[in-house]
Structure 1
Amino acid sequence: MARNILFIMCDQLRFDYLGCAGHPHLKTPHIDALAARGARFDRAYVQSPICGPSRMSFYTGRYTRSHGSTWNGIPLRVGEMTMGDHLGPLGLRTALCGKTHMVPDIAGMSRLGIDPGSGIGNRLAECGFEVWDRLDGLHPAPLPRPSHYEDHLRGLGFGGPNPWEQWANSAEGDDGEILSGWLMENADKPARVDEAESETPYTTTRAIEFIEDAGDAPWCLHLSYIKPHWPYIVPAPYHDMYGPEHIQPLVRSEAERADPHPLHAAYMGHRFSQVFAREEVRERVIPAYMGLIAQIDDQIGRLMAYLDETGLSKETLIVFTSDHGDYLGDHWLGEKELFHDPSARIPLIVVDPSPEADATRGQVLTPLAEAIDLLPTFVDWAGGEARPHILEGRSLLPLLRGQDVPWRNVAISEYDYSLRGARRSLNQPVADCRLVMVFDGRWKFIHAEGFRPMLYDLEADPQELCDLGADPAHAGECARLEAIMNRWARGHHSRVTVSDAEIEAVGDGDLRAGIAIGFWDQAEIDAAMDAGGDSGN
C-alpha cells in the first residue's frame, strides 16, 4: 500500500465553526464526513496564534523558540529541517499547493554561498516543499512574489494590475464601480469573479492535478487554502448563504473591560479589535466568513469524491486543520494572536485508513494535541523512525489506533508581539514582548514578561471571561504552571545533530579512545577496561 499524505490546512478557521464541532447553523457535511471517517481531536492548539510562526511549527515539528521564526516576515533560518527533509528520504514527493507564509533566509543562504535560485535554494526558500502551486494571496498590487493564481486569472482574460485584487477580492457596485474587499462594508456583496474561478476551487483543481501527476509514486501534498482568512469576501452563491440571524452571540463581558490585563487592554485598542466591536461589522463579516467555510466544505467534498473514485482514499492519511482561529469580536478582540480558544485552538481531524484505526473511527479524542504533532505523525505513517531530538511533537497514530501510551500533560503556545502597536503603547522593550501559554486541560496560564500572568479556569469558566491572574487565591496555581513552563524552557531545544540514543550509546568513550584521564597506574586502566571501558568520569 502506498503511504500518501494529504495535509489540508485552512487559514484562520476557528475550531468551533464546523458542524461537527457543534456550530448550530453552519453546515459542513463533507468536513463532518471526514470526522466520521477518522477521528476529531477536540483539544488541539497551535504553537503560535499567528500565520507565519504557526506554520513554521507545523512544517518543522518544533516549538517557536526552537525554530526562531517568531512573527510574520521573520525568516525560518537556513538549516532548520522541514517537512520535505523528513519525508523525502522516506520516498515521499512533498509538494505545496496553496499558502505557506514562508519567508526565505536570504542572508543565511548568502553567507553559506547558496544561490536562492538553485535547486537547494528553492527548497530552502519554500520550507522544503516542491512548489506545485503557491497562492499566498492577501496582498494588493504589486504581489510580493509570483502567483500561479494571478497568471491563471490573466489567462482567462481578467485584467488589472493584480487580477486577484480587482476580481477575486472585489465586488461590483450598481454602476459597475469596483468595491474593495478590504472594506468590511462590502463583505455582504459577491466577489466579481465567478465561483468556479475563485481561490478555493482553483486550489482544489490544482491539488487534483498534482495527485494525477504523481501517479503511483508516494506523495505528501500540503493543500493550503487561503480562506476563510480576510479579506472577508466570497463569490455567489455563498455570499448570502448566511445572514445576521445565523451569527453566534458574542462571547465577551463588560467585566473584561473593567480591569483588564495590560496586554488584553492594549489589544482591545488595536484597530482590528475596535472595528469588530461594532455590530454592523459583525453582521456583514461573519456571514461572509461562514460562506467562505461553506465553499471550502464543498471543495472538500469534491476532493474526497475524487480520492474515493480513484481508490486513493484507502492508502492516504488525511489531515484537516487550521493555522489559528479568528476572534470575530469575542473578548472585545479582532484577528487572533492572544490565547483565548477562538484564537489558539484549532480544528484537527485525522483520517487513518488502516484497519488499526477502526478502534477510534468517528470518535472525538480529548488528549491535548499540538500542531507540532503532525510531522512526527507523517514520519510514523511513512515508516520512518522517531527523531525526538529534532521533532518536538509526538505521533498521533498510537492515539488513533486506541493504544494506551504516555501523553503530554500540557500544551504550550508562544507569541511575540514586538511588531504590534501593543509594544509601543505598553512601552515594552522588543526583547520582552514574549508571551507563553501553558494549558493543562483545565487551567490556562499565560506568562507575560514584565506583567502579571493571566489565568483562566476553563472548567468553571469555559468561555474565558474571568482572568484570575491577579487573584491572590490563585497564586499557587500560577506558580505551579509557571514552574512547568520554566522546566519546559530549560529543556533541550537546539541539540538536533545528535540524538539522546546516540549519546547513550557512546557513554564515556575517553578510555576507548586512548585518553586515560584520572588514572594512577596501568592496573587501574586494566580494571576499567575489564569493566567495559568506563574511565570513571
Structure 2
Amino acid sequence: MARRKNVLLIVVDQWRADFMPVLGADFLRTPNLDRLCREGVTFKNHVTTTVPCGPARASLLTGLYLMNHRAVQNTIPLDARHLNLAKALRQIGYDPALIGYTTTTPDPRANPGKDPRFSILGDLMEGFRAVGAFEPSMDGYFGWLAQKGFKLPENREDIWLPEGEDSVPGATDRPSRIPSELSDTAYFTERALTYLKGKGDKPWFLHLGYWRPHPPFIASEPYNTMYSPANMPAPVRKPDWQEEAGQHPLLDFYLRGISQGSFFHGAGGAATELSEESIRQMRATYAGLMTEIDDALGQVFEYLEQTGQWDDTLIIFTSDHGEQLGDHYLLGKIGYHDESFRIPLVIKDPEAPHSAGRIESAFTESVDVLPTILEWLGGRTPRACDGRALLPLVQQGKPADWRDHLFYEYDFRDIHYSQPETALGLDKDDCSLCVVQDEAWKYVHFSGLPPLLFDLKADPDQYTNLAADPAHAATVATYAQKALSHRMRHAERTLTHFRSTPRGLEERS
C-alpha cells in the first residue's frame, strides 16, 4: 500500500520576513517555528508577488501573477476560469479543507448582483471545504465566542480593546479584553485539531490560516507584555517624513493619507506622527502576536507527532504579505518597499531529511507554492502557472536555469478608503507598478508615473532614487528590458502549447 501523503499549508497574515529568528530576529521567541526551520528549508529571498491580502492570496492559490489573475485589489473579482489550488487538488483526489479565509470576491458573471458576497471585503475561494471559516465578516469566530459563553459587545470588534476602554490612543501594551484561550488564534487552532482528529487515517490537505499578526496591534495576556519595546529594532526612516515623501508621488500620497486608526483600534492621527517609542511598542505587540501563533502551532505539531503523521506531512509556513511597521513612516502593506513584499517561507519535506536546517538564498515567489504542493502529491503544474515547483531547491539544490531576479506588482487604483488614482490624476488602468529586483539593483516601473532605481549595495534601505540620473541611464534601460521580457515570458498561456496539425491536435511539452 502506498504511504499516505498529507499537506499542511500554514498561511499567517502580515508577517514580514525579517521577523524570523533564523533570519536574524534573535529577540523573538518562536520555538515551534524554529523547529520547523531546523527540520526544513528556510527561503531567505522570498516575496509575495503582490499586495494586499486578496490579490496576494489569489497569486498564492492560483500560481498566477497579478497581471494574469487580475484580482488587483481586495474587492476586485477573481475570474472563475482560473484554476486554483483547491480545484487542482480535487483533480488528484484530495478534498482540500480550509481554516481562515482567502479574501476572494466571486466572478459577477456567474453570480447574481444581489449576492451578499458583493457587500463584504471578500469570501472563500471556490473549491475549498470550509472547516473553520473566518469570513464573511468574522461570523465564524464571533459565533464560536458566543457558543463558548463569551458575551459579545454591541460592536463586536471591541473585543480587542482593553477592558473598560472604548478606543486606544495608539500603540499600547494594555491587554485585549479577550483572553488568550478565546482569541482568534485559539479559534483557528481548535478548528484545526478538530478537523485533523476527524480525518483519522485518511490523507488530507489543510490550509491553516491565522489572522495574526494582522492589526489591530493589541494582544491578549500574557502576549501583550512578553517583549520589551527597548529590545525591538528601530524603524528604518529618514529624520522627517517630508524627506521620504520627496522620493516619489505615490509615496507622497500615502505618507499624507495613512492614519493610525486601522492599526490601533479607535486611534486618531497620521502614521507619520508615530514616535520611535510608539513604533517600538507596536513592534513589541506584533512580536507577542507572533509568539501566540507559535504556541498554537506547537499544539498542532504535537498532535501530528503523537499520531505518527509528522513524517507523512509536507508542512509549508508562509504569509500573504508583510507589514511596513513604521519603516519609511508607513503602516500596512502598500507601494513598492521590501517590508511589504518580503515574507517567510519554510518547507519541511519529509522526503528530504538531508536538507534539514538549510537556508536557501535562491529567489523564490509566492506563485511557487501551488506547483510545489501539486508536484509533491504526484500532480502536474498547470500550463498557465507562473511559478515553479520548489522541490528541486529543497531536495537537490538550485537548478542551473533558476530565475535570476524577483518580480512583484502592485495596483493602486481607487478603493473606498483610499483614492490615489484621483489624487494623482491617473486613469485606473494606469495605476500599476512592477518591480524587478536582484542582489544589485531594484527597478520599479510605473504605467503612469516616473520610475525608481535603487542601488541595493550602496543603499540597502532604498532612500536614493537614481532613475533620473544620466549616469544610470543604461541600468534603467537594462532593468526596464528585464521587466518587459518578464511580462512577455509570463503572458497568459493556458492553451498556447496546443496546435492543430495535418495529423490532428498536438500537445507540446
Counterpart pick for 1:10 among 9, 12, 17: 12
Are the structure 2 counterparts of residues 135 and 212 from structure 1 closer, same or farther at C-alpha, using a change threshold of 3 Å? Answer: same
Matched, 1:348 2:354: no
Matched, 1:155 2:147: yes
Matched, 1:197 2:182: yes
Match of 1:286 in 2: 283
Whether the 8 Å contact between 1:227 and 1:292 is mirrored in structure 2 is yes
How far off is 1:277 after superposition? 4.1
Match of 2:412 in 1: 417
Counterpart pick for 2:403 among 408, 431, 440: 408
Match of 2:317 in 1: 320
- Which range is displaced more, 485-494 or 26-35? 485-494
Whole-angstrom CA distance in 2 between matches of 1:63 and 1:488: 11
Q: Deviations over 1:69-109 (max 9, x none)?
A: 00011111212111111111212221110121122224433
- Which range is displaced more, 76-85 or 152-161? 152-161
- Which range is displaced more, 264-273 or 41-50? 264-273
Whether the 8 Å contact between 1:190 and 1:233 is mirrored in structure 2 is yes
Whether the 8 Å contact between 2:77 and 2:106 is mirrored in structure 1 is yes
Q: Secondary structure at the match of 2:91?
A: helix
Q: Deviations over 1:431-467 (max 9, x none)?
A: 1101111112321111112222111222222222222
Are the structure 2 counterparts of residues 260 and 492 from structure 1 closer, same or farther at C-alpha, using a change threshold of 3 Å? Answer: closer
Matched, 1:488 2:486: yes
Whether the 8 Å contact between 1:319 and 1:350 is mirrored in structure 2 is yes
How far off is 1:330 after superposition? 0.6
Are the structure 2 counterparts of residues 44 and 469 from structure 1 closer, same or farther at C-alpha, using a change threshold of 3 Å? Answer: same
Matched, 1:333 2:330: yes
- 1:209-288 to 2 correspondence within 5 Å? 209-254=194-239, 256-257=243-244, 259-272=246-259, 274-279=270-275, 280-288=277-285
How far off is 1:281 after superposition? 3.3
How far off is 1:41 after superposition? 0.3
AA of the residue aligned to 1:170: L
Q: Secondary structure at the match of 1:327?
A: coil
Are the structure 2 counterparts of residues 258 and 205 from structure 1 closer, same or farther at C-alpha, using a change threshold of 3 Å? Answer: closer
Whether the 8 Å contact between 1:368 and 1:408 is mirrored in structure 2 is yes
Counterpart pick for 1:386 among 381, 389, 414: 381
Whole-angstrom CA distance in 1 between matches of 2:312 and 2:496: 31
Match of 1:528 in 2: none
Q: Deviations over 1:180-203 (max 9, x none)?
A: 4xx453632111111111111221
- Which range is displaced more, 10-19 or 215-224? 215-224
So what's the TM-score if we normalise by structure 1? 0.85
How far off is 1:425 after superposition? 2.4
How far off is 1:404 after superposition? 4.6
Are the structure 2 counterparts of residues 47 and 126 from structure 1 closer, same or farther at C-alpha, using a change threshold of 3 Å? Answer: same
How far off is 1:242 after superposition? 1.4
Q: Deviations over 1:242-266 (max 9, x none)?
A: 1221221111124843731111222
How far off is 1:302 after superposition? 1.8
How far off is 1:125 after superposition? 5.1
Matched, 1:465 2:456: no
Whether the 8 Å contact between 1:105 and 1:125 is mirrored in structure 2 is no
How far off is 1:160 after superposition? 3.3
Q: Secondary structure at the match of 1:151?
A: helix
CA-atom RMSD, angstroms?
A: 2.4
AA of the residue aligned to 2:56: S
How far off is 1:291 after superposition? 0.8
How far off is 1:380 after superposition? 0.5
Are the structure 2 counterparts of residues 154 and 163 from structure 1 closer, same or farther at C-alpha, using a change threshold of 3 Å? Answer: farther
How far off is 1:343 after superposition? 0.8
Whether the 8 Å contact between 1:416 and 1:434 is mirrored in structure 2 is yes
- Which range is displaced more, 126-135 or 152-161? 152-161
Q: Secondary structure at the match of 2:485?
A: helix
Whole-angstrom CA distance in 1 between matches of 2:10 and 2:496: 31
Whether the 8 Å contact between 2:362 and 2:398 is mirrored in structure 1 is no
Are the structure 2 counterparts of residues 32 and 276 from structure 1 closer, same or farther at C-alpha, using a change threshold of 3 Å? Answer: farther
Percent of residue pairs identical: 35
Question: Could you list the runs of 5+ residues in structure 1 that have no partner in the other structure?
Answer: 118-123, 137-143, 514-537
Counterpart pick for 1:170 among 153, 161, 169: 161
Matched, 1:104 2:100: no
Are the structure 2 counterparts of residues 308 and 258 from structure 1 closer, same or farther at C-alpha, using a change threshold of 3 Å? Answer: closer
- Which range is displaced more, 25-34 or 459-468? 459-468
Matched, 1:185 2:170: yes
Q: Deviations over 1:22-66 (max 9, x none)?
A: 113122221111111100000001111211100000010111111
Counterpart pick for 1:368 among 363, 369, 373: 363
AA of the residue aligned to 2:259: F
Q: Secondary structure at the match of 2:72?
A: coil
Question: Could you list the runs of 5+ residues in structure 2 that have no partner in the other structure?
Answer: 118-122, 261-269, 505-509
User: How many residue pairs were aligned?
Assistant: 482
So what's the TM-score if we normalise by structure 2? 0.89
Match of 2:425 in 1: 427
How far off is 1:361 after superposition? 1.5
Whole-angstrom CA distance in 2 between matches of 1:125 and 1:36: 33
Are the structure 2 counterparts of residues 82 and 327 from structure 1 closer, same or farther at C-alpha, using a change threshold of 3 Å? Answer: same
Structure with the greater alpha carbon radius of gyration? 1
Q: Deviations over 1:157-197 (max 9, x none)?
A: 22236675132x2211xxxx3434xx453632111111111
AA of the residue aligned to 1:151: G
How far off is 1:386 after superposition? 2.9
Whether the 8 Å contact between 1:368 and 1:441 is mirrored in structure 2 is no
Whole-angstrom CA distance in 2 between matches of 1:427 and 1:165: 36
Q: Secondary structure at the match of 2:299?
A: helix
Are the structure 2 counterparts of residues 258 and 373 from structure 1 closer, same or farther at C-alpha, using a change threshold of 3 Å? Answer: closer
Whole-angstrom CA distance in 2 between matches of 1:107 and 1:79: 11
Runs of 4+ aligned residues of structure 1 deviating over 4 Å after TM superposition are 161-164
How far off is 1:493 after superposition? 3.2
Whether the 8 Å contact between 1:359 and 1:400 is mirrored in structure 2 is no
Counterpart pick for 1:438 among 431, 436, 439: 436
How far off is 1:475 after superposition? 1.5
Match of 2:69 in 1: 67
Whole-angstrom CA distance in 1 between matches of 2:298 and 2:182: 17
Q: Deviations over 1:100-143 (max 9, x none)?
A: 112222443349xxx999xxxxxx9533211111115xxxxxxx
Counterpart pick for 1:77 among 73, 76, 79: 79
Match of 1:92 in 2: 94
Whole-angstrom CA distance in 2 between matches of 1:425 and 1:18: 37
How far off is 1:490 after superposition? 2.5
